[in-house]
Structure 1
Amino acid sequence: MKISEINNMTNSNYLVVLFCASAGKNGEELGIDEEQIVLFVYLLYDVPNNKVVAVQQHYCRPTPNELSETVITDDCKQETGLDEDIIKNAQPLDHVMDEFDRFLVAKGIHPDHGGKSFCLTTDGPNHIRQAMHPECGNKNINLPQYLYSYYDLRKEFVKMYKAENITNIGNMLDYLGLPRDQSSEYGIRQCQEMASILHRLIVDGHIFGEPDVVNERLEPGICSKSDIVDDEVVVRARGLPWQSSDQDIARFFKGLNIAKGGVALCLSPQGRRNGEALVRFQDQEMRDLAIRRHKHHIGQRYIEVYKATGKDFLNVAGGSNSEAQAFLSRGGEVIIRMRGLPFTATTQQVPNGIHFIMVR
Protein backbone atom coordinates (compact mmCIF):
# COMPACT_ATOMS: atom_id res chain seq x y z
CA MET A 1 0.00 0.00 0.00
CA LYS A 2 1.29 3.48 -0.89
CA ILE A 3 2.23 5.91 1.88
CA SER A 4 -0.13 8.52 0.39
CA GLU A 5 -2.99 6.04 0.81
CA ILE A 6 -2.01 5.31 4.41
CA ASN A 7 -1.95 9.05 5.21
CA ASN A 8 -5.63 9.23 4.29
CA MET A 9 -6.55 6.55 6.84
CA THR A 10 -6.33 8.80 9.89
CA ASN A 11 -6.21 12.49 10.77
CA SER A 12 -3.01 11.82 12.74
CA ASN A 13 0.56 11.16 11.63
CA TYR A 14 1.15 9.09 14.76
CA LEU A 15 -0.80 6.92 17.16
CA VAL A 16 0.30 6.65 20.79
CA VAL A 17 -0.74 3.33 22.26
CA LEU A 18 -1.50 3.81 25.96
CA PHE A 19 -1.76 1.12 28.62
CA CYS A 20 -2.31 1.36 32.40
CA ALA A 21 -2.39 -1.17 35.21
CA SER A 22 -3.70 -0.49 38.71
CA ALA A 23 -2.63 -1.76 42.11
CA GLY A 24 -5.82 -3.83 42.19
CA LYS A 25 -7.98 -5.33 39.48
CA ASN A 26 -7.06 -4.91 35.82
CA GLY A 27 -8.29 -5.86 32.36
CA GLU A 28 -12.06 -5.57 32.10
CA GLU A 29 -12.24 -4.65 35.79
CA LEU A 30 -9.66 -1.84 35.67
CA GLY A 31 -10.89 1.01 37.85
CA ILE A 32 -13.71 -0.94 39.49
CA ASP A 33 -12.01 -0.95 42.91
CA GLU A 34 -10.62 2.64 42.94
CA GLU A 35 -7.05 1.33 43.13
CA GLN A 36 -4.40 3.70 41.81
CA ILE A 37 -2.29 3.38 38.66
CA VAL A 38 1.02 1.59 39.25
CA LEU A 39 2.10 0.94 35.66
CA PHE A 40 2.01 3.39 32.75
CA VAL A 41 3.23 2.25 29.32
CA TYR A 42 3.11 4.02 25.95
CA LEU A 43 4.20 3.12 22.45
CA LEU A 44 4.69 5.55 19.55
CA TYR A 45 3.43 4.26 16.21
CA ASP A 46 4.37 5.92 12.91
CA VAL A 47 1.24 5.64 10.75
CA PRO A 48 2.66 6.66 7.32
CA ASN A 49 5.51 4.16 7.66
CA ASN A 50 3.37 1.64 9.57
CA LYS A 51 5.95 0.85 12.24
CA VAL A 52 6.79 1.15 15.93
CA VAL A 53 9.10 4.06 16.77
CA ALA A 54 9.57 3.67 20.52
CA VAL A 55 8.05 2.18 23.66
CA GLN A 56 8.44 3.43 27.23
CA GLN A 57 7.40 1.93 30.56
CA HIS A 58 7.07 3.66 33.94
CA TYR A 59 6.14 2.41 37.39
CA CYS A 60 4.00 4.69 39.54
CA ARG A 61 3.98 4.93 43.32
CA PRO A 62 0.45 5.14 44.76
CA THR A 63 -0.37 7.89 47.23
CA PRO A 64 -1.03 6.33 50.67
CA ASN A 65 -4.68 6.57 51.68
CA GLU A 66 -7.15 5.02 54.07
CA LEU A 67 -8.77 2.96 51.30
CA SER A 68 -5.62 0.98 50.40
CA GLU A 69 -3.93 -1.18 53.02
CA THR A 70 -1.21 -2.54 50.70
CA VAL A 71 0.86 -1.08 47.87
CA ILE A 72 -0.35 -3.66 45.35
CA THR A 73 -2.91 -6.42 45.82
CA ASP A 74 -2.54 -10.12 45.16
CA ASP A 75 -4.80 -9.68 42.09
CA CYS A 76 -2.32 -7.20 40.64
CA LYS A 77 0.72 -9.35 41.44
CA GLN A 78 -0.84 -12.42 39.87
CA GLU A 79 -1.94 -10.74 36.63
CA THR A 80 0.91 -8.30 36.03
CA GLY A 81 3.87 -9.90 37.80
CA LEU A 82 4.78 -6.53 39.34
CA ASP A 83 7.09 -6.41 42.33
CA GLU A 84 5.92 -4.44 45.36
CA ASP A 85 9.39 -3.14 46.22
CA ILE A 86 9.76 -1.63 42.73
CA ILE A 87 6.41 0.14 43.07
CA LYS A 88 7.30 1.50 46.55
CA ASN A 89 10.39 3.21 45.10
CA ALA A 90 8.76 4.51 41.91
CA GLN A 91 7.83 8.09 41.01
CA PRO A 92 4.30 9.40 41.74
CA LEU A 93 1.85 9.65 38.88
CA ASP A 94 2.26 13.39 38.29
CA HIS A 95 6.01 12.91 37.71
CA VAL A 96 5.31 10.06 35.31
CA MET A 97 2.86 12.26 33.41
CA ASP A 98 5.57 14.90 33.10
CA GLU A 99 7.91 12.23 31.68
CA PHE A 100 5.24 11.33 29.12
CA ASP A 101 4.93 14.98 28.14
CA ARG A 102 8.70 15.28 27.67
CA PHE A 103 8.69 12.12 25.57
CA LEU A 104 6.15 13.70 23.20
CA VAL A 105 8.28 16.84 22.93
CA ALA A 106 11.43 14.82 22.23
CA LYS A 107 9.68 12.86 19.46
CA GLY A 108 8.38 16.03 17.82
CA ILE A 109 4.69 15.31 18.27
CA HIS A 110 3.71 17.49 21.23
CA PRO A 111 0.83 19.76 20.09
CA ASP A 112 2.01 22.70 22.23
CA HIS A 113 5.48 22.61 20.64
CA GLY A 114 4.54 22.58 16.98
CA GLY A 115 4.69 18.81 16.75
CA LYS A 116 3.05 16.55 14.21
CA SER A 117 -0.45 15.36 15.03
CA PHE A 118 -1.12 12.24 17.05
CA CYS A 119 -4.01 10.52 18.81
CA LEU A 120 -4.05 8.09 21.72
CA THR A 121 -5.12 4.49 21.18
CA THR A 122 -6.26 2.14 23.95
CA ASP A 123 -7.68 -1.33 24.37
CA GLY A 124 -11.20 -0.35 25.44
CA PRO A 125 -12.27 2.75 27.40
CA ASN A 126 -11.10 1.79 30.90
CA HIS A 127 -7.52 3.10 30.68
CA ILE A 128 -8.65 6.63 29.85
CA ARG A 129 -12.13 6.88 31.37
CA GLN A 130 -11.96 4.64 34.44
CA ALA A 131 -8.32 5.01 35.46
CA MET A 132 -6.53 8.09 34.12
CA HIS A 133 -9.26 10.74 34.37
CA PRO A 134 -10.71 9.74 37.77
CA GLU A 135 -7.31 9.41 39.44
CA CYS A 136 -5.92 12.63 38.00
CA GLY A 137 -9.13 14.38 39.06
CA ASN A 138 -8.74 13.08 42.63
CA LYS A 139 -5.09 14.18 42.72
CA ASN A 140 -5.73 17.58 41.07
CA ILE A 141 -3.42 16.71 38.19
CA ASN A 142 -4.29 18.86 35.19
CA LEU A 143 -4.60 16.68 32.12
CA PRO A 144 -3.41 18.05 28.76
CA GLN A 145 -5.88 18.35 25.92
CA TYR A 146 -4.51 15.33 24.09
CA LEU A 147 -5.80 13.07 26.89
CA TYR A 148 -9.39 14.02 26.09
CA SER A 149 -9.65 11.98 22.87
CA TYR A 150 -8.61 8.48 21.86
CA TYR A 151 -9.27 5.62 19.48
CA ASP A 152 -10.79 2.55 21.11
CA LEU A 153 -8.91 -0.28 19.35
CA ARG A 154 -11.75 -2.71 19.91
CA LYS A 155 -14.27 -0.42 18.24
CA GLU A 156 -11.95 0.17 15.30
CA PHE A 157 -11.39 -3.59 15.00
CA VAL A 158 -15.11 -4.36 14.97
CA LYS A 159 -15.76 -1.61 12.39
CA MET A 160 -13.15 -3.11 10.09
CA TYR A 161 -13.76 -6.83 10.42
CA LYS A 162 -17.40 -6.94 11.67
CA ALA A 163 -16.13 -9.37 14.31
CA GLU A 164 -18.18 -10.41 17.33
CA ASN A 165 -17.29 -11.07 20.97
CA ILE A 166 -14.17 -8.91 20.91
CA THR A 167 -13.45 -8.19 24.57
CA ASN A 168 -9.66 -8.11 24.80
CA ILE A 169 -6.38 -8.03 22.89
CA GLY A 170 -6.18 -11.82 22.78
CA ASN A 171 -9.51 -12.04 20.92
CA MET A 172 -8.18 -9.71 18.22
CA LEU A 173 -4.89 -11.56 17.85
CA ASP A 174 -6.69 -14.90 17.56
CA TYR A 175 -9.12 -13.52 14.98
CA LEU A 176 -6.24 -12.32 12.82
CA GLY A 177 -4.05 -15.36 13.44
CA LEU A 178 -1.29 -13.21 14.94
CA PRO A 179 1.20 -14.59 17.51
CA ARG A 180 1.45 -13.42 21.11
CA ASP A 181 4.28 -11.04 21.88
CA GLN A 182 7.15 -12.62 23.83
CA SER A 183 8.25 -9.56 25.82
CA SER A 184 8.85 -10.39 29.47
CA GLU A 185 7.36 -7.12 30.77
CA TYR A 186 3.56 -7.23 31.16
CA GLY A 187 2.74 -3.70 29.98
CA ILE A 188 5.21 -3.71 27.08
CA ARG A 189 3.73 -7.00 25.93
CA GLN A 190 0.23 -5.47 25.83
CA CYS A 191 1.42 -2.44 23.83
CA GLN A 192 3.44 -4.50 21.35
CA GLU A 193 0.43 -6.74 20.72
CA MET A 194 -1.77 -3.68 20.11
CA ALA A 195 0.87 -2.42 17.68
CA SER A 196 0.66 -5.73 15.77
CA ILE A 197 -3.10 -5.28 15.49
CA LEU A 198 -2.67 -1.66 14.34
CA HIS A 199 -0.19 -2.79 11.68
CA ARG A 200 -2.69 -5.28 10.32
CA LEU A 201 -5.57 -2.79 10.38
CA ILE A 202 -3.53 -0.30 8.37
CA VAL A 203 -2.34 -2.90 5.88
CA ASP A 204 -5.92 -4.06 5.38
CA GLY A 205 -7.01 -0.48 4.62
CA HIS A 206 -8.85 0.50 7.78
CA ILE A 207 -9.78 4.18 7.99
CA PHE A 208 -9.64 5.72 11.46
CA GLY A 209 -12.53 8.18 11.69
CA GLU A 210 -13.36 10.53 14.52
CA PRO A 211 -11.91 9.48 17.90
CA ASP A 212 -13.93 9.05 21.08
CA VAL A 213 -14.01 12.27 23.10
CA VAL A 214 -14.04 12.78 26.88
CA ASN A 215 -16.17 15.75 27.90
CA GLU A 216 -14.20 18.31 29.88
CA ARG A 217 -17.12 19.67 31.89
CA LEU A 218 -20.80 19.28 32.62
CA GLU A 219 -22.83 21.44 30.24
CA PRO A 220 -25.79 23.25 31.80
CA GLY A 221 -29.26 22.60 30.51
CA ILE A 222 -32.79 21.84 31.62
CA CYS A 223 -35.16 19.08 30.67
CA SER A 224 -38.83 19.25 29.73
CA LYS A 225 -41.36 16.66 30.88
CA SER A 226 -42.17 16.14 27.20
CA ASP A 227 -38.62 15.01 26.42
CA ILE A 228 -37.91 11.37 25.66
CA VAL A 229 -35.13 9.89 27.80
CA ASP A 230 -33.81 6.43 27.01
CA ASP A 231 -34.03 3.97 29.91
CA GLU A 232 -30.51 2.72 29.09
CA VAL A 233 -28.67 5.96 29.88
CA VAL A 234 -29.78 6.81 33.42
CA VAL A 235 -28.44 5.91 36.87
CA ARG A 236 -29.49 6.76 40.41
CA ALA A 237 -26.70 7.76 42.81
CA ARG A 238 -27.42 7.35 46.54
CA GLY A 239 -25.54 8.31 49.68
CA LEU A 240 -24.32 11.68 48.39
CA PRO A 241 -23.22 14.31 50.91
CA TRP A 242 -26.23 16.58 51.39
CA GLN A 243 -24.30 19.63 50.14
CA SER A 244 -23.28 17.96 46.83
CA SER A 245 -23.86 20.06 43.72
CA ASP A 246 -24.30 18.90 40.15
CA GLN A 247 -20.60 19.69 39.58
CA ASP A 248 -19.60 17.50 42.55
CA ILE A 249 -21.55 14.62 41.02
CA ALA A 250 -19.96 15.25 37.62
CA ARG A 251 -16.55 15.03 39.32
CA PHE A 252 -17.52 11.70 40.86
CA PHE A 253 -18.22 10.43 37.33
CA LYS A 254 -15.16 12.16 35.83
CA GLY A 255 -14.12 10.63 32.52
CA LEU A 256 -17.70 9.68 31.60
CA ASN A 257 -19.81 11.85 29.32
CA ILE A 258 -22.93 13.15 31.05
CA ALA A 259 -25.68 14.53 28.81
CA LYS A 260 -26.28 18.28 28.75
CA GLY A 261 -28.09 19.20 31.95
CA GLY A 262 -27.91 15.52 32.89
CA VAL A 263 -27.66 15.80 36.69
CA ALA A 264 -30.93 16.09 38.62
CA LEU A 265 -30.69 16.44 42.40
CA CYS A 266 -33.51 14.76 44.31
CA LEU A 267 -35.33 16.75 47.02
CA SER A 268 -37.21 15.71 50.11
CA PRO A 269 -40.87 16.78 50.62
CA GLN A 270 -39.45 19.73 52.58
CA GLY A 271 -37.46 20.84 49.52
CA ARG A 272 -34.06 19.80 50.86
CA ARG A 273 -31.53 17.62 49.05
CA ASN A 274 -31.91 14.04 50.20
CA GLY A 275 -28.56 12.57 49.15
CA GLU A 276 -29.79 11.14 45.84
CA ALA A 277 -29.44 12.22 42.24
CA LEU A 278 -30.51 10.98 38.82
CA VAL A 279 -27.76 11.18 36.20
CA ARG A 280 -28.37 10.97 32.46
CA PHE A 281 -25.39 9.90 30.35
CA GLN A 282 -24.58 10.46 26.70
CA ASP A 283 -25.12 6.82 25.74
CA GLN A 284 -25.43 3.30 27.14
CA GLU A 285 -21.68 2.71 27.13
CA MET A 286 -21.21 5.64 29.53
CA ARG A 287 -24.07 4.40 31.73
CA ASP A 288 -22.58 0.91 31.91
CA LEU A 289 -19.20 2.37 32.92
CA ALA A 290 -20.96 4.49 35.56
CA ILE A 291 -22.53 1.38 37.11
CA ARG A 292 -18.98 0.10 37.73
CA ARG A 293 -18.44 3.02 40.11
CA HIS A 294 -20.91 1.51 42.57
CA LYS A 295 -19.53 2.06 46.09
CA HIS A 296 -16.78 4.41 44.94
CA HIS A 297 -16.16 7.26 47.35
CA ILE A 298 -16.72 10.97 47.76
CA GLY A 299 -14.50 11.71 50.73
CA GLN A 300 -15.28 9.09 53.38
CA ARG A 301 -18.71 8.27 51.95
CA TYR A 302 -19.28 5.45 49.51
CA ILE A 303 -21.83 6.15 46.81
CA GLU A 304 -24.30 3.56 45.58
CA VAL A 305 -24.95 3.60 41.83
CA TYR A 306 -27.91 1.77 40.32
CA LYS A 307 -29.68 1.62 37.00
CA ALA A 308 -32.69 3.92 36.72
CA THR A 309 -35.22 4.74 34.01
CA GLY A 310 -35.88 7.69 31.76
CA LYS A 311 -39.16 8.22 33.64
CA ASP A 312 -37.25 8.43 36.93
CA PHE A 313 -35.07 11.16 35.46
CA LEU A 314 -37.99 13.14 34.03
CA ASN A 315 -39.89 12.97 37.32
CA VAL A 316 -37.03 14.84 38.97
CA ALA A 317 -35.53 16.93 36.17
CA GLY A 318 -38.51 17.59 33.91
CA GLY A 319 -39.73 21.15 33.82
CA SER A 320 -42.05 23.22 31.68
CA ASN A 321 -40.73 26.75 32.22
CA SER A 322 -40.13 28.28 28.80
CA GLU A 323 -38.39 31.34 30.32
CA ALA A 324 -35.76 29.12 31.93
CA GLN A 325 -35.23 27.35 28.61
CA ALA A 326 -34.72 30.70 26.90
CA PHE A 327 -32.30 31.83 29.63
CA LEU A 328 -30.06 28.81 29.11
CA SER A 329 -30.20 29.13 25.34
CA ARG A 330 -28.69 32.63 25.68
CA GLY A 331 -25.65 31.27 27.50
CA GLY A 332 -26.84 31.32 31.11
CA GLU A 333 -25.24 28.60 33.19
CA VAL A 334 -26.92 28.50 36.59
CA ILE A 335 -30.54 28.51 37.73
CA ILE A 336 -31.37 28.85 41.43
CA ARG A 337 -34.70 28.55 43.21
CA MET A 338 -35.44 31.21 45.85
CA ARG A 339 -38.08 30.29 48.40
CA GLY A 340 -39.75 32.34 51.11
CA LEU A 341 -39.79 35.59 49.13
CA PRO A 342 -42.46 38.14 50.01
CA PHE A 343 -45.45 37.80 47.72
CA THR A 344 -44.90 41.40 46.61
CA ALA A 345 -41.27 40.80 45.54
CA THR A 346 -40.36 42.23 42.12
CA THR A 347 -37.59 41.58 39.63
CA GLN A 348 -36.11 45.00 40.49
CA GLN A 349 -35.31 43.77 44.00
CA VAL A 350 -32.98 41.05 42.72
CA PRO A 351 -29.23 41.93 42.34
CA ASN A 352 -28.06 43.16 38.94
CA GLY A 353 -26.74 40.48 36.58
CA ILE A 354 -29.29 37.88 37.66
CA HIS A 355 -32.10 37.07 35.26
CA PHE A 356 -35.18 36.70 37.45
CA ILE A 357 -38.07 34.42 36.60
CA MET A 358 -41.09 35.03 38.83
CA VAL A 359 -43.16 31.91 39.49
CA ARG A 360 -46.46 32.45 41.33
Structure 2
Amino acid sequence: IVRLRGLPFNVTQDAIMQFFQGYHIPNGAMAVHLVLGTNSRPNGEAFVEFGSEEAADAALAKDRASIGTRYVEVFRSNLEQMHQALSRANNGMPYAPYPTFSPMGPPMYGGAMGAPGGMGVVDSVVKMRGLPYKVTRNDILEFFAGLSVPLNGVHLMFNEREQPTGEAYVEFSSPEDRERAMSKDRQHMGGRYVELFRVSRAEMIQA
Protein backbone atom coordinates (compact mmCIF):
# COMPACT_ATOMS: atom_id res chain seq x y z
CA ILE A 1 0.00 0.00 0.00
CA VAL A 2 1.18 3.53 -0.74
CA ARG A 3 -0.23 6.87 0.34
CA LEU A 4 -0.49 9.82 -2.05
CA ARG A 5 -0.56 13.44 -0.91
CA GLY A 6 -0.97 16.65 -2.89
CA LEU A 7 -3.41 15.30 -5.48
CA PRO A 8 -5.61 17.68 -7.48
CA PHE A 9 -9.02 17.91 -5.82
CA ASN A 10 -10.76 16.78 -8.99
CA VAL A 11 -8.53 13.73 -9.42
CA THR A 12 -10.23 10.50 -10.44
CA GLN A 13 -9.39 6.90 -9.73
CA ASP A 14 -8.64 6.44 -13.44
CA ALA A 15 -6.13 9.30 -13.32
CA ILE A 16 -4.34 7.61 -10.42
CA MET A 17 -4.37 4.30 -12.30
CA GLN A 18 -2.77 6.06 -15.26
CA PHE A 19 -0.21 7.68 -12.93
CA PHE A 20 0.85 4.17 -11.88
CA GLN A 21 0.60 2.65 -15.36
CA GLY A 22 2.92 -0.35 -15.61
CA TYR A 23 2.73 -1.14 -11.89
CA HIS A 24 0.78 -4.17 -10.67
CA ILE A 25 -2.58 -3.12 -9.18
CA PRO A 26 -4.63 -6.34 -9.34
CA ASN A 27 -8.00 -4.89 -8.29
CA GLY A 28 -7.89 -1.91 -10.64
CA ALA A 29 -9.84 1.16 -9.57
CA MET A 30 -11.26 -0.73 -6.57
CA ALA A 31 -7.74 -0.60 -5.10
CA VAL A 32 -7.65 3.21 -5.28
CA HIS A 33 -9.13 4.85 -2.18
CA LEU A 34 -9.78 8.60 -2.41
CA VAL A 35 -9.94 10.19 1.04
CA LEU A 36 -12.55 12.79 1.90
CA GLY A 37 -11.91 15.66 4.25
CA THR A 38 -13.86 18.73 5.28
CA ASN A 39 -17.51 18.58 4.29
CA SER A 40 -17.07 15.15 2.71
CA ARG A 41 -15.02 16.49 -0.17
CA PRO A 42 -11.70 15.13 -1.52
CA ASN A 43 -8.74 16.33 0.55
CA GLY A 44 -5.94 15.62 -1.95
CA GLU A 45 -4.95 12.32 -0.38
CA ALA A 46 -5.43 8.72 -1.51
CA PHE A 47 -4.27 5.18 -0.79
CA VAL A 48 -3.44 2.59 -3.45
CA GLU A 49 -3.20 -1.17 -2.83
CA PHE A 50 -0.60 -2.92 -4.98
CA GLY A 51 -0.32 -6.62 -5.75
CA SER A 52 2.90 -7.11 -3.79
CA GLU A 53 5.32 -5.37 -1.45
CA GLU A 54 7.80 -5.23 -4.32
CA ALA A 55 5.30 -3.41 -6.54
CA ALA A 56 4.56 -0.92 -3.76
CA ASP A 57 8.28 -0.29 -3.27
CA ALA A 58 8.73 0.22 -7.01
CA ALA A 59 5.84 2.70 -7.04
CA LEU A 60 7.84 5.00 -4.74
CA ALA A 61 9.80 5.97 -7.85
CA LYS A 62 6.78 8.13 -8.74
CA ASP A 63 7.35 10.34 -5.69
CA ARG A 64 7.09 14.02 -6.73
CA ALA A 65 5.95 13.20 -10.25
CA SER A 66 3.05 15.31 -11.51
CA ILE A 67 -0.67 14.82 -11.94
CA GLY A 68 -2.02 17.90 -13.67
CA THR A 69 -0.12 20.92 -12.36
CA ARG A 70 0.61 19.42 -8.94
CA TYR A 71 3.48 17.26 -7.86
CA VAL A 72 2.38 14.26 -5.84
CA GLU A 73 4.16 12.88 -2.80
CA VAL A 74 4.22 9.09 -2.52
CA PHE A 75 4.84 7.28 0.79
CA ARG A 76 4.85 3.65 1.88
CA SER A 77 1.88 2.81 4.08
CA ASN A 78 0.05 -0.22 5.40
CA LEU A 79 -3.49 -1.50 5.90
CA GLU A 80 -3.75 -0.23 9.47
CA GLN A 81 -2.67 3.30 8.54
CA MET A 82 -5.06 3.32 5.59
CA HIS A 83 -8.01 2.23 7.71
CA GLN A 84 -7.14 4.78 10.41
CA ALA A 85 -7.03 7.61 7.87
CA LEU A 86 -10.25 6.55 6.20
CA SER A 87 -11.97 6.09 9.57
CA ARG A 88 -10.93 9.62 10.58
CA ALA A 89 -12.45 10.87 7.34
CA ASN A 90 -15.59 8.96 8.30
CA ASN A 91 -15.94 10.94 11.55
CA GLY A 92 -14.52 8.06 13.57
CA MET A 93 -16.86 5.43 12.18
CA PRO A 94 -15.16 2.14 11.22
CA TYR A 95 -13.96 2.11 7.65
CA ALA A 96 -15.78 -0.26 5.32
CA PRO A 97 -13.78 -1.03 2.17
CA TYR A 98 -16.66 -0.37 -0.19
CA PRO A 99 -17.13 2.78 -2.24
CA THR A 100 -19.92 5.25 -1.68
CA PHE A 101 -21.03 6.34 -5.11
CA SER A 102 -21.77 9.96 -5.86
CA PRO A 103 -23.80 11.00 -8.89
CA MET A 104 -21.31 13.83 -9.37
CA GLY A 105 -18.15 11.81 -9.66
CA PRO A 106 -16.15 8.64 -8.96
CA PRO A 107 -16.55 6.43 -5.89
CA MET A 108 -15.22 8.11 -2.77
CA TYR A 109 -13.92 6.40 0.34
CA GLY A 110 -14.34 7.68 3.86
CA GLY A 111 -16.35 10.81 4.49
CA ALA A 112 -19.48 11.09 6.54
CA MET A 113 -22.66 10.30 4.70
CA GLY A 114 -25.06 13.11 5.45
CA ALA A 115 -22.31 15.45 6.62
CA PRO A 116 -22.86 19.08 5.66
CA GLY A 117 -21.76 19.65 2.10
CA GLY A 118 -22.76 21.19 -1.16
CA MET A 119 -25.19 24.09 -0.96
CA GLY A 120 -24.92 26.32 2.08
CA VAL A 121 -21.31 25.42 2.95
CA VAL A 122 -19.34 28.46 4.13
CA ASP A 123 -15.92 28.61 2.50
CA SER A 124 -12.90 28.85 4.80
CA VAL A 125 -10.10 29.04 2.22
CA VAL A 126 -7.29 31.58 1.89
CA LYS A 127 -5.05 32.00 -1.14
CA MET A 128 -1.43 32.98 -0.45
CA ARG A 129 0.68 34.81 -3.02
CA GLY A 130 4.32 35.89 -2.92
CA LEU A 131 5.62 32.91 -0.94
CA PRO A 132 9.34 32.06 -0.95
CA TYR A 133 9.93 29.40 -3.59
CA LYS A 134 11.46 27.06 -1.00
CA VAL A 135 8.48 27.32 1.35
CA THR A 136 7.24 24.10 2.93
CA ARG A 137 3.88 23.11 4.37
CA ASN A 138 5.35 23.36 7.86
CA ASP A 139 6.49 26.94 7.14
CA ILE A 140 2.90 27.85 6.26
CA LEU A 141 1.52 26.12 9.36
CA GLU A 142 4.00 28.10 11.48
CA PHE A 143 2.93 31.32 9.71
CA PHE A 144 -0.64 30.58 10.81
CA ALA A 145 0.32 29.30 14.27
CA GLY A 146 -2.61 29.35 16.66
CA LEU A 147 -5.20 28.83 13.93
CA SER A 148 -6.84 25.50 13.14
CA VAL A 149 -5.89 23.97 9.77
CA PRO A 150 -7.19 20.46 8.97
CA LEU A 151 -4.90 17.57 8.13
CA ASN A 152 -3.72 18.08 4.53
CA GLY A 153 -5.23 21.58 4.53
CA VAL A 154 -2.15 23.24 2.96
CA HIS A 155 -1.88 23.00 -0.82
CA LEU A 156 1.29 24.29 -2.50
CA MET A 157 0.98 25.15 -6.17
CA PHE A 158 3.41 24.11 -8.92
CA ASN A 159 3.65 24.85 -12.64
CA GLU A 160 3.86 22.40 -15.52
CA ARG A 161 7.62 22.02 -14.94
CA GLU A 162 7.02 21.06 -11.30
CA GLN A 163 8.43 24.38 -10.09
CA PRO A 164 6.81 26.27 -7.18
CA THR A 165 4.67 29.22 -8.27
CA GLY A 166 4.91 31.08 -4.97
CA GLU A 167 1.21 30.47 -4.36
CA ALA A 168 -0.65 28.19 -1.97
CA TYR A 169 -4.17 27.56 -0.76
CA VAL A 170 -4.95 26.95 2.91
CA GLU A 171 -8.18 25.45 4.22
CA PHE A 172 -9.10 26.53 7.74
CA SER A 173 -11.36 24.63 10.10
CA SER A 174 -13.86 27.48 10.40
CA PRO A 175 -14.76 30.83 8.81
CA GLU A 176 -13.68 32.47 12.07
CA ASP A 177 -10.17 31.03 11.73
CA ARG A 178 -10.05 32.28 8.15
CA GLU A 179 -10.96 35.79 9.27
CA ARG A 180 -8.24 35.69 11.92
CA ALA A 181 -5.80 34.43 9.27
CA MET A 182 -6.51 37.47 7.10
CA SER A 183 -4.87 39.64 9.75
CA LYS A 184 -1.58 38.15 8.52
CA ASP A 185 -2.00 39.79 5.09
CA ARG A 186 1.25 41.41 3.91
CA GLN A 187 3.28 40.02 6.79
CA HIS A 188 6.69 38.65 5.93
CA MET A 189 7.89 35.10 5.42
CA GLY A 190 11.52 34.46 4.55
CA GLY A 191 12.19 38.07 3.57
CA ARG A 192 9.10 38.34 1.35
CA TYR A 193 5.76 39.87 2.20
CA VAL A 194 2.88 37.53 1.59
CA GLU A 195 -0.49 38.58 0.21
CA LEU A 196 -3.64 36.82 1.41
CA PHE A 197 -7.00 36.60 -0.36
CA ARG A 198 -10.35 35.12 0.64
CA VAL A 199 -11.34 32.59 -2.02
CA SER A 200 -13.96 29.90 -2.44
CA ARG A 201 -13.22 26.22 -2.39
CA ALA A 202 -14.39 26.06 -6.00
CA GLU A 203 -11.66 28.55 -6.97
CA MET A 204 -9.09 26.43 -5.15
CA ILE A 205 -10.20 23.27 -6.92
CA GLN A 206 -9.97 24.97 -10.31
CA ALA A 207 -6.49 26.39 -9.64
Instruction: Select the structure with the greater relative contact order (CA < 8 A; seq sep ≥ 6).
Output: 2
Q: Going by fraction, where is helix more abundant, 1 or 2? A: 1
**Greater Rg, structure 1 or structure 2?**
1
Q: Going by fraction, where is strand more abundant, 1 or 2? A: 2
